[in-house]
Amino acid sequence: MIPKINEMDIDNLQTLVEKISEVMETPVTIEDAEHRLLAYSSHDPNSDPARIATIVGRKVPEDVVRALYESGAMQQLLDTWEPVHVEGMSQVGLNNRMAIAIRHYDEVLGYIWLLENKGSFTSEQIQQLKYSATLAASKMIQMQKRKQSIDFFNRLLKGRFTSEQDALAQAREVGIQMPAYSYILMIEQDGNHDNNDWLDKAMQAATEYAVRIVLHLRESHRLILLCSTAKTASSVAPVEHTIVPLVNRLSTLLPSSRIEYGAGSVVSSVLAISRSYTEAQYLLMLHHRLPETTSILYYPQAGFYRYLYAMKQEAVQFPAYTSPLDKLAAYDQEHHSHLLHTLAVFLDHNSDAKLAAGQLHVHTNTLNYRLKRIAEVGQIDLNDMAQKVTLYLEIKLLLLEESE
C-alpha cells in the first residue's frame, strides 16, 4: 500500500522531498523557478549524471536547462497544472523524468522532478504528487516571507531606513505589524552550539509573560528577538519587571550557565530599534569581558558600565595625566607585589576592609598595611570619594582593555 503524504508531517521542503521519494519510490528534487536546488531526496544509486551535477552545483546545469527548453518540455510544464513526462536526453546526461510545476495561483514558484527509473507511476501516486506540489507551494511562500522578514529585520537592526514612514511601509509589505513599544532581546553562547530549540523555548516563555516576539533572527551562536511590550505612557510597572522574569524563565528552559542574555532599551520609534540592538550587543560584550555584569539583563540598569567605552575613547584621544594606577602597576612589577589588585578588591567591596581582606584571604592588618602603601606609592587619598570613584572607573577600564 502506498504511504500517504500528510501535511502535518511536513515541516519543510526537505521532509517533503523525502516523503515524495518514499511515495513515488524514486529520487526527487525540488527547484525554484530559476532552477536552483532547494531540496533533494537521499542519494540513490540510480541517479543520472544530470541529477548528480545538480546536487553538486546546487543548480541545474545550464546545458540541461537549455535542452529542456529547446525540447519544449519546459513550455509544457509552464502550460499545465498536471505532471509532465519528459523524455530522456542522453547528450546532457538526463534520463526519463516526470515533473510538475509548483504554482501559487498563476505564478510558477518552482518544479518537482522525479526519475522514471521504474517506468510509469500509478494514478494514486500521481494524485499524491499533485498534492505534494500544493504543499511545496505553501512551504516556498513561507520561505519567501521568512526571507523578506529577515531582510527587513536586518535593515532595522543596522539602521538602514531613512524615515519612520519608509520602515513602516516596508513592514506592511512584508505583513508585519510593528508594535508601539519594543526592545531587542539577545540570547548568546560562545562558539557554535545547537540553538535550534532556542526559539521554541523563547516563544514558550514569551507566551507565559504576555510578550509578543515580533521578529527573530537566528545566527550560529545567538538568537536576536524583537519583543513587544504593553508599556504605555501611563504604565506604572517598569518594563524590566517583565524582561527580568522572562529571562529567568528562559534560564530554566535553557539550563546552561554559558548562555548569556541581554536586552536593550524599550523604544517607541521603529528607527530606534537599531539603538536597542546596539545596547543589547554592548551588554553581552560586558558580560564576556566583565563577568561581574552578568546579572545585569536590561541595558538601562547597567549604570556607569554604559559609559565605559565612551570614557575609554576619551582617555585614548585626550590622555590627560599619569594615573595613580600606572604608578601602582610599575611598583607591583618591580617589587612583585599586588597593590593594584588589592585596590581593585578594596573598592569593589565598598571600601570595607574586613570584606576585602576576606576576599583576598589576608588578615585585616595585612590589608591595612597594603592600603597604606597604596596611598603612599600612588599618592592617593582613600578618604576622598572623588578620587576613589575615579580610580574605580579607571580600574574597570583597565579590566575591559585587558579582556580585549
Model confidence, pTM: 0.76
What residue type is assigned to position 123 of the chain? Answer: S
Q: Which residue has the higher pLDDT, 122 or 242?
A: 122
DSSP per residue, 49-71: HHHHHHHHHTB--HHHHHHHHHT
**209 and 302 in contact (C-beta within 8 Å)?**
no
Residue 165: exposed, middle, or buried by beta-carbon count in 10 A (0-12, 13-18, 19+)?
exposed
CA atoms within 13 A on the CB side of 119: 1
**27 and 118 in contact (C-beta within 8 Å)?**
no
Asked if the model's pLDDT at residue 377 lies above 70, the reply is: yes
Secondary structure tally for the chain: helices H, strands E: 15, 9
Asked if the model's pLDDT at residue 236 lies above 50, the reply is: no
What residue type is assigned to position 247 of the chain? Answer: V
DSSP per residue, 124-143: HHHHHHHHHHHHHHHHHHHH
Beta bridge partners, 110, equal 32, 102
Asked if the model's pLDDT at residue 235 lies above 70, the reply is: no
pLDDT in tens, 71-104: 999 999 999 999 999 999 999 999 999 999 999 9
Q: Can you list the alpha helix ranges (DSSP code H) found in 236-307?
A: 240-253, 273-289
pLDDT confidence bin for 231, thresholds 50/70/90: low
Position 230 scores a pLDDT of 65
Among 83-87, 174-178, 300-304, 316-320, where is mean pLDDT lowest?
A: 316-320
Position 101 scores a pLDDT of 96
> Cα(19)–Cα(375) distance, rounded to whole angstroms?
76
Q: Percent of the chain at pLDDT above 70?
A: 94
Residue 255: exposed, middle, or buried by beta-carbon count in 10 A (0-12, 13-18, 19+)?
exposed
Position 401 scores a pLDDT of 81
